[in-house]
Structure 1
């Protein structure tokens, strides 16, 4: 109710800013990517009617007298890559406004004019770079507008399963990726990642849904590795998100309603300052109806909200100020009633777990961009981010039939708050980044400083029993087939603050007109680890003539210890930063302006990895090491006409060794074979059809034996799982076919879009993890079969 009320009030307040307009038009501003200077003389052409405009000395253009409809705009300028913007929706009596950047064609590909999709052809990011536009994200079938489900199709990227949006990249985990929105680093980008669900510690699968509502992200730039020194504190991949900017000319409204909730948006002038635009979004999602429809009411009751506001103020010709605020609350509750609805504890997606989780995340940031010269600019970013977690976790003890059926009863023994976790994190940070483009060299230098505060508490109400264990776990008697977890070993209380400081330098220059080199170096001080690190990096691109290029990268990447892990350690015990060394070599060819083929091989060495020497206890050490290698092949057709698509294959092998006497094992995201196919087709202005097929090798899972009646007590029957080999077996292969259809039509001044989006139309149950049930001695699987949604969007 709280989230719904906030959405309604939010939309009513925004609606008061409506200003009438008589003519439809497109207006915009074009700037140079590397210097942010206005680009005069660029040509803007509308494909549908051959209308053409040219930018003035301030980079502004204006195309009036358009009829309502959907347009494709191509922007060209001598010495720059062409750029195409698709599905620009012009509504009656309104002016559609946008700003865009063109990238200089530093190394001319003689036989083809490449279109400059955001960040993809930046010579400072030649390796593993992929870009997605707002429309490509929205069209992605099965993604339901979720940016992280959309990028799960990219080569080298794997999701955690059908019900998860979190990603793992090239043999590393879901917590190893750097996410930034408008240059602000984010704590956590997913909903429903319930801390403490997995034996009191974080679920390695990550969260289920993104904190970004559909059509909030204007563009996304992804690098699966080899990213520059400007980005750090994570070691696997980089995802930069550009949040939608408001329309400066007149207000646009949109609303989306589907099975799980609604999203409302305002895109227009601020109403309080002529130089300020406003983009605002409010989303509320509740899964009760959908879970009832697909027969998963026993899963519990999840809901969340996502509220965002962004303003852009053109202070003057040289200074542009953006402000962004995000608030992302969520709740999840599973009760005794949900357990009884499940009927059988051996069923998939089942558990005797109960509890409730409340999580709030927020980000506030200011970003001032100043043009300091004709070829330089300075960005100063001030931000605050927080996360507040309050979880109560417990279990039920129903009476079980031999086959796992739960016996009907009016009373069931349960404990709601056996484990309680409170995790409050706050960070205040400042970033200053200066970029200078010279005749022969471009350099970026910057410094970051942040104050991180942690207030963490984890409590076990009384001694508990763990029924899954490793051969190396301490047991006072070899015939004791379970572990005892006492409050002394589990409880933690930590309240402290520390400074994080970084400095970095990235260079980019071209040799012999064909070879671009991008050396860089990064320094980090991590306060909670009390550790200084230096990480040199280099990437480059060798143009072979015409359409071909060879790409390469190598570097050292350090990753801060997770805040929850820092807080749970015994007093005086510090965790180190984990280290990854990367090597990448690739080949790229453009067959046409919007069709490219890439092939990349990669290798990683990892050390100082944080590992848990004893099951169920918080103590970690940095004894872990690892190696990973693989290659990615992809053929990508960008969205530039009526269709786009991608075919990719990834091979990856990832091994870890915790140095605990059990030897090397397959890492949880060791997936030897991943195949992805994506296609989207727009036959006319009314219909869009999209399909996505994904195949992946089954994820590793433990090989184990089961011990029965471990207490030798028929009145308290419990089974135990003794792991014989870490990740010695695999779950069933992942196979999913997702389909989406959109139908657009207009009624008077309102544009409508009806959509139908289905995850896994094959209704194949895809297993993401196997969990042992000590009440029955069986293994049940977490996963997802078909997951449909349909709804309506309106724009006016």
Structure 2
């Protein structure tokens, strides 16, 4: 027994000795990267790269690459500088033992006469091509955005002029328009929905204006974000409100890493590393189930909500002139609510009771694409993008009529009537697209010209199983008898079937002209052909910037923007009904003060005129027209401190008015996202390498919602007692103001072979119930409010 103990002791001593040696070997890492010029994509020679607060640094070689060796394990910031270019600050460069941090960075030309200010180049900002409404987020800033749970769409909701339905919704609406009006690009490929759980058909058969609930991107998948709140150039079109460009992280060419995150919401796995000496791989997989959050916050009867996100991206340096990226995404979701999810004792009038609706949803989005960038000369490059996008929706909606106590409490869900398949919607889309964009840089002029070609196939079917009774209706809806306080929906007026293919084509040219050292003009022209609308459109645009001394500039933009009809609306029309594209005329005038390289103040006033807006004459039918008009105007103010040291933050206020007129004789009304006052404050502080603390406060005026009156016993039969809701004024009243205070804390433990992070992220820590919409209950005549209070998540992340 003594021999065994001695042997075990010797073995343990040997193991600990080997670990000690390995620990010493693992305390150092390297930083490597490549610097290229933003306007030409050419590698830059002689660029200085300094590791802040150390004596270490490097100079780029003839390939634009640099290497800083033997850096102690930890978190660092890089300062990248070159004469004639904006200084770039890169924060939270994480060095792990025996690994090499690798990334590519772009440098922008100096901005006009801002010579006395060392302007730090954050992606997309301080770029003469995007002089107005331009904001960006780095990967680290997205991660630090309190209350967002790493969701990029929730992080964007604090930008000036941007709003969302809030609470459980994440889709954004910009400057008086809707959640479906934004240009979304992922690695230069167009996407039309970046959120899960957009409830098509949950109300009366049409898309929910609130948008989706959760982003399709797992935390730390998006490497950089570029957002323009209007005024974007002719390169982008087919949507009219804002531009959001997302860059997916490229794999590390030098070292591999694996991370796993387990939290209340689910599990995320990420691999990042080289595949070969020319190809890198970045891949992620996420599964989310909201049962844990529902149980913790006391939300009952919401059903089952699960979703997944899978992503693969490879990047290959074919040679010195050609770089090829491949991306594949698959995002399935399967929420459902059946009679088995309804608990006895639930009061149908309570908040978040989910009403009397049952549903079963099966949906997914998928994208496969190639992006080839070719350096055609020392002053030009050519980008070719090929992609295939698929979207499927298979929704079934039912209804149940439980036995209720006088106060609205469900006695027994099984004791009553329920119907699982009253309405069904199938919406399948396939899109094959090609984009070719050429950029040429001259001495005082940059030319961008391109072509887009898209083939779209739509397969849509909407069915009502039987004649249905609707207990919510507008005062203006046609009824056979004015004393009939309900509507009868016949399948002949609801059902629709559509299968067709169409072609969309676009051509565009855009210039960025440095007229003088102080004045830059960006004229552009875009042509679009829309196959389903059989419509040709021309969109002239102009933006510019005038510097006023060393720190200030005046910026402006104006132009025409056309928006394609949503595919689901096209498919829901009767044969021969053609809907035109909506038109928006935008005007923006702004002022910017650059206090320092990472601190700026921006004020912008804007106006929009809407024509040919799509309206729905009868809210229960799919028939649509282009009879709508409207206008919106407002002003945004923001003070933004970018992440360059240990902290970053933002204070913003927005004022907006958005009014529509369906030209149906009822006059103007406030648009759904007419939110006059929006205020937000966010901040993040990193006192040391262990802690990151973040907080965010948001306030906004309540959204408009229809006013109504309630009719009792509409069948004049107490044995079949039903109430109905007559909508008397379109958006005639307001929901309660939105208020949320969010916090996040991350504690990081750096080990020799791995990093361990424990985190807590809480949305609405004060637990204010923020209402998103209301549901009328025909059995009780009451309204159940749907919304969300506190929404927490916590977990642990380990990186190897």
Q: Smaller-chain TM-score range? A: over 0.9
Partner of 2:390: 386
* Alignment check: 8 A CA contact 2:604 2:636 kept: yes
Kept in 1, the 8 Å contact 2:344–2:411? The answer is no
Residue of structure 2 aligned with 1:105, choices 106, 110, 121? 110
Does 2:32 align with 1:27? yes
CA displacement at 1:410 relative to structure 2: 4.3
Q: Which residue number corresponds to residue 14 of structure 1?
A: none
**Mapped contact 2:339–2:413 kept (Cα < 8 A):** no
Which residue number in structure 2 is paired with residue 320 of structure 1?
Answer: 323
Q: Superposition pairs for residues 712-791 of structure 1, below 5 Å? A: 712-791=716-795
Q: Deviations over 1:701-731 (max 9, x none)?
A: 1111111111111111111111111111001
* Number of aligned positions between the proteins: 775
1:132 aligns with 2:128: no
1:141 lines up with 2:146 in the alignment: yes
Comparing 734-743 with 463-472, greater Cα deviation is found at 463-472
Please give the alpha-carbon distance, in whole angstroms, between the structure 2 residues aligned to 1:82 and 1:156: 28
Structure 1 position 55 matched with structure 2 position 60: yes
Give the distance between the partners of 1:718 and 1:617, measured in 2 at CA.
23
* Structure 2 residue aligned with 1:180: 185
| Deviation digits for residues 69-124 of structure 1 (CA, Å, limit 9, x no counterpart) | 11111111111111111111111111111011011114130221110000111110
Deviations 1:210-257 (A, max 9, x none): 001100000000000000000000000000001100000121111111
Is the contact between residue 339 and residue 352 of structure 1 (CA under 8 Å) also seen in structure 2?
A: no
Post-superposition Cα deviations, 1:264-304, rounded to whole Å, max 9, x if no partner, equal 1111011xx32100000111101111111111131111111
Aligned counterpart, 1:698: 702
Note the residue ranges of structure 1 that are not aligned, 5 or more in a row. Answer: 1-19
Q: Aligned match of 2:279 in 248, 252, 276?
A: 276
Aligned partners of 1:694 and 1:735 also within 8 Å? yes
Secondary structure at the aligned position of 2:410 is classed as coil
Q: How do 1:474-489 residues align onto structure 2 when only pairs under 5 Å count?
A: 474-489=478-493
Paired with 2:27 and 2:142, the residues of 1 have a C-alpha distance of: 31
- Are 2:237 and 1:229 aligned? no
Q: 1:409-457: CA deviations, max 9, x gaps?
A: 6433111110011110010000000000001211100000000000001
Q: Any idea what SS the aligned residue of 1:399 has?
A: strand
Matches of 1:649 and 1:138, distance apart in 2 = 23
2:572 aligns with 568
SS in 1 for 2:719: coil
Residue 795 (1) aligns with residue 795 (2): no
Q: Does 1:250 align with 2:255?
A: yes
Task: Provide the residue aligned with 1:78 in structure 2.
Answer: 83
- SS class of match (1:576): coil
Secondary structure of 2:293's aligned partner: helix
2:70 aligns to what SS in structure 1?
Answer: strand
Determine the structure 1 residue equivalent to 2:15.
none
Question: Contact 2:324 / 2:373 at 8 angstroms: preserved in 1?
Answer: yes
Q: Distance in 2 between matches of 1:653 and 1:50?
A: 53
Quote the offset at 1:342 in angstroms. 6.8
Residue of structure 2 in register with 1:417 after alignment: 421
The residue number in structure 2 matching 1:357 is 361
- Per the alignment, residue 312 of structure 2 pairs with 309
Tell me what 2:157 maps to.
152
Distance (whole Å) between structure 1 residues aligned to residue 101 and residue 462 of structure 2: 51
* Cα distance change of structure 1 residues 110 and 274 upon mapping to structure 2, 3 Å threshold: closer
- Aligned counterpart, 2:558: 554
Taking a change above 3 Å as real, the CA distance of residues 551 and 60 of structure 1, as seen in their structure-2 partners, is: same
C-alpha distance after superposition, 1:114-164 (max 9, x if no partner) = 100001111100000001000000000000100010011100000111111
Contact 1:469–1:483 (CA under 8 A) maintained in structure 2: yes
Corresponding residue number in structure 1 for 2:119: 114
1:578-727 residue pairs with structure 2 within 5 A?
A: 578-727=582-731
* C-alpha separation in 2, matches of 1:191 and 1:748: 38
* Distance apart, 1:402 and its partner CA: 2.8
> What is the TM-score of this pair, normalised by structure 1?
0.96
Structure 2 unaligned spans of 5+: 1-24
1:267 aligns with 2:269: no
Contact 1:22 1:94 in 2 (8 A): no
SS class of match (2:179): coil
- The answer on whether the counterparts of 2:444 and 2:515 sit within 8 Å (CA) in structure 1 is no
- Quick check: 2:28–2:73 contact (8 Å CA) kept in 1? no
What is the CA–CA distance in structure 1 between the aligned matches of 2:61 and 2:527, rounded to whole Å? 42
Runs of 4+ displaced beyond 4 Å: 20-23
CA deviations on 1:461-516 (whole Å, 9 max, x unpaired) are: 00111111112211010001111111111111100000000000000111232110
Query: How far off is 1:338 after superposition?
Result: 2.4
CA contact under 8 A between 1:510 and 1:517: conserved in structure 2?
yes
- Give the distance between the partners of 1:23 and 1:748, measured in 2 at CA: 9
Output one character per residue of 1:746-775: Cα deviation in whole Å (capped at 9) or x when no partner: 234110111000000010000111222212
SS of the residue corresponding to residue 292 of structure 1 reads helix
The match for 2:46 among 19, 23, 41 is 41
CA distance in 1, matches of 2:408, 2:551: 62
CA distance in 2 between counterparts of 1:22 and 1:487 reads 70
Cα distance between partner residues in 2 of 1:755 and 1:575: 49
Distance across 2 between alignment mates of 1:649 and 1:784: 24
- Quote the residue 1:7 is aligned against: none
Q: Give deviations 1:644-668, integer Å, cap 9, x for gaps.
A: 0000000000001111222110101
Q: Distance in 1 between matches of 2:306 and 2:421?
A: 21
Instruction: Give the corresponding residue for 2:204.
Output: 199
Corresponding residue number in structure 1 for 2:533: 529
Q: Which moved more, 1:410-419 or 1:720-729?
A: 410-419
Which of 488, 493, 496 is the equivalent residue of 1:492?
496
Change (3 A) 1:585 1:208: same
Which residue of 1 is the match for residue 349 of structure 2? 346
Which whole-Å deviations, capped at 9, do the CAs of 1:492-543 have from their partners, x for residues lacking one? 1100000000000000111232110000010000000000000000000000
- Cα distance change of structure 1 residues 322 and 762 upon mapping to structure 2, 3 Å threshold: same
Q: Is the 8 A contact 2:28 2:96 kept in 1?
A: no
Structure label with greater radius of gyration: 2
* Number of the residue aligned with 1:4: none
CA shift digits 1:351-389 (9 cap, x unpaired):
111111011110000000000011100000000001011
- The 10-residue stretch of structure 1 (380-389 or 656-665) with the greater mean CA deviation from structure 2: 656-665
Per the alignment, residue 16 of structure 1 pairs with none
Q: Is the 8 A contact 1:298 1:341 kept in 2?
A: no
- Cα shift at 1:408: 3.0
Deviations 1:304-333 (A, max 9, x none): 110000000001000000000000000101
Question: 1: CA distance between counterparts of 2:613 and 2:786?
Answer: 27
Kept in 1: contact 2:26–2:752 (CA 8 A) = no
The secondary structure found in structure 2 opposite 1:565 is: helix
